Amino acid sequence: MATLKPAKLRFYVDADTLGLAHLLTAVRSDVTYPGDPGGTLDGRVRPPCDIAPSTPDQDWIPIAAERGLIVITRDRRISQRSAERAAVRAAGGRHIAVTSRETLRKFAILEIVICQWRNIEELSELPGPYIYGITRTSSRKLDDF
């Protein structure tokens, strides 16, 4: 019997995209989300996430940053949310926001994230704070970061 190893968490999917979170945790052991019960994939054990889905942004953003997690979120208006941007900046957070203007269902959000995954991996190596907006065809750092 193979020995299970702890997963090294790298990505935190925000509560606004729990459908995406469930899809990603089915194929990646390094992804978690608020309320995640944990799980086992490919011999890696993902621990439960102690952040509740109802936790306000200003409370979970510093926790995710302290844990070194790259946040994936769906927020096409993130450039207009000064309090959230300030929380990311103060915590040294690293955020990737799906910013497509269209209304997106779960599969469309997954498509954008998968199309940009190599870029997300590269961005995960950069120190924070930052917020990048992604669409199917582009990735750009927000101007004030």
Q: How many CB atoms lie within 10 A of CB 44?
A: 15
pLDDT tens digits for range 22-69: 999 999 999 999 999 999 999 999 999 999 999 999 999 999 999 999
> Whole-angstrom distance between the N-terminal and C-terminal Cα of the chain?
48
Mean of pLDDT values over 101-130 = 94
pLDDT score, position 76: 77
pLDDT tens digits for range 3-19: 899 999 999 999 999 99
Planar angle of CA 13, 17, 19, nearest 5 degrees: 105
pLDDT tens digits for range 87-115: 999 999 999 999 988 888 999 999 999 99
